[in-house]
Structure 1
Amino acid sequence: MMNHHDSWLEQAAGNPASDPRHEPSPPRRQRNASYQLATRCARAGSGPREAGRNASVQPAIHQSAIFDLGAPEDAEAIFSGARKGYAYSRFGNPTVDALARSLADLEGGHGAVVTSSGNAAVLCAVTAALQGRQGPLVTHPDIYGGSFELLRILADVYRVPVEFVDPADEDQWFRALERAGAVLVETPSNPLLRLIDLAAIVQHAKVGGAEVIVDNTVATPFNQRPFQFGADWVVHSTTKYLNGHGDLIGGGVIRREPFTASHRSIHKNLGGTVNAFDAWLVMRGLRTFTLRMEAHNRSGEIVARWLEQRPEISRVYHPSLDSHPQRELFGRQMSHGGGLLSFELRGGEPAAIRFLSRMQLIVHAVSLGGPETLATMPARSSHRGMAPDARQRAGVRDGLVRLSVGLEHVDDILADLDHALRAET
């Protein structure tokens, strides 16, 4: 049965504020109504202090596959849903549920489920959003490479109709949205940091009743609040900024409205659930999330502006830059540009390879959002599974370098970039 600790946590999912550039405050009826985002993150997974309770300050790890069902009548109440309880960790786990409540709180949604990876989160959300729908899943060509490969499998193996439409062609994009079965977008996109107007997407998708799924992994709820613009679902790779330590693989799905029994059945039976220890690691990361994002945002913008001044570089992709073609949309939709950026060297692919080989502090590795600054060539890593012509349509050139700016001192990051770039002079 849910105790007072769990009940207080379940109340943590608040509605987003009207201004996307300010932190959300939960409804006044909730006990943590006055708490800012940083406070709620610092206490992720924890309940209120109670005199004499002697509870652990850190959330517990319920690392168990099974739970004692008690008497037959207790088991019946749990399995029927008449009473909150646990039977098997694929169906539910107290530690995993605590993380789900924290994720819902962060995004301002009504509920969340936790998955074993970001791709599992996308699969869960797409399956739920397409349930009972007839139209295609509409997305864009430069969606994250892992998501692109997943959608290709869904189309090839399960015959799910998927349409890749360029949002830059507004007439074609809006027409596709209006006849869609569901919509999946990533904004900013990875690795080119292109933005998609969420308010416009929702307006056109609702013409045909399609639900909108937003991959908010790159932006994070610190920098962008999709539910404020009417999105129905938000997905995350918790591997990235939310965990922030590069030591687990995980994902999450948050819904603006309550999850239905059918939605939860989809999550349970697709099999992409997570274990208690990984869920606990994400909650540990959430406790420093806002502090880390302040550093990522600050250093990301400094590095992006510095790179723009380098003669070896032909173009830098970061939404905070004045040169970004969607700078006005950035001002309306995001509060900060984040710690992810990409750039192209004038020497193309050979120059990019030399750059990676000369790095000393920066790590040549995939992923993003961790404490280390990471660099990689997407065409040879995250987007390698895309056919060359599909990569070209997405704008991912062979010599593109993606940089995830970490938590090192920004002067040290710039010094290493300078050293690696000087090979081109």
Structure 2
Amino acid sequence: MINSKNPRTLAAEIITEALHDGQPLMATVRKKAKTMSSQDASFLKELVNGILRHKLYLEGIVDAFVEKPFKAKNIKVKYAIMAGLYQLAFLNTPHHAAVNETVKAVGELGFDTLKGLTNAVMHGYLRKKGELEQQLNKSYETRYSFPQWLITDIKAAYGKSLGTVLENLNRHPPLTVRVNTAKCPIDEYIKLLSDNGLTGTPVPKVPCALVITPPVNTEKLPLFDSGAVFIQDAAAQQAAIFLDPQPGDIILDACAAPGGKTTHILELCPDVKDLVAMDLDEGRLMRVRENLQRLRLKAKVVSADASSEDHSWSPYSAYDRILLDAPCSATGVIRRHPDIKWLRTPDEIKSIVKLQRQILENMWQMLKPGGIMLYATCSIEPEENTLQIKNFLSEHSDAELIPLTAEETAENPGLQILPGLDDMDGFFYAKMKKNC
């Protein structure tokens, strides 16, 4: 049965559940979108992501017209109003439609007494739009809607690139796929896309990556069911390329879920001796198994804690190559998960850095002498990336940096991909060899 609930109503409920009740954002969106028409489901996702991308900007508008802050019992109303304001400020929705539907959504949430307030805020914004825009664009915090601590971190790390980084993290992410060229050469797949009214644009230096326009659902991607394509950002696709698997290797993909990098390793080198895909979350490992099955690939999938010194889960005592896609703040993929802005804290990042180091130390023990480790994160925080590897190298005489760029040194190791470069997510890679 199609859900006839106003998407603005659902958006307010979803954001409340994500920011105040600890519910996973995208899982909640998918759950509620299942019973909606495809058009309404797409609109719901647009509203949820848009409100979270521009949260402080939209709250600034609300605060200009509402004297008393919303309480926990009616916080959904605030998010419903922000959904309407997002339509007016960023989607150019016809004024009457945005106002009327937002007022209707507030009633649907059970707050008929606040319909008048909702109407007043919406019309107030339309009257003072220019003035409010000028005021809210004065500070980075409201202009780009980022918490001040994260702005400070990014400025300290990237200086004059601050505005560009923030802007790119707020952009809509592209639909990027990885093409298994053994099943379909890139040129042929680009032609298949064209035959289906789609455009595939190659990504520089990532030979199997194509950005698809316009974005479509997986069922509209040619050869998706046959396993010839996999949805994966071009930055993430570089993990398997940098790892450079070789025939006969025994490989560990640590923290492997949902399996994008696992499957890519097997596509690049079908003649590896074995690949073990390990992750702590048994639920997420189901995705690894599903992806392996769809792409018709085989690996050993095990549930284990990468930070534990108990290695009884491992079918091998040591590995030729280890891909450590470490737990991280995910600040490099905020454009795909805008709730990260509001859920991360400085203290949490400190805890993440500590956990990363524990896992790094533990996985290093499982690497054969002469073996290769590729450390990866989808973060742009130096503490999780360059500084993490710099400290590790300084404390391990058997660790040798294998530069991925000409600029790398032991004092400044790794490749940091900033969000937006060639339309990629933010990622970090560092490659090391274990000497005898």
TM over 0.5: no
Q: Which of the five TM-score ranges fits, normalised by the shorter chain? A: under 0.3
With normalisation by structure 1, the TM-score equals: 0.26
With normalisation by structure 2, the TM-score equals: 0.25
Q: Which has the higher helix share?
A: 2
**Which one has a bigger Cα radius of gyration?**
2
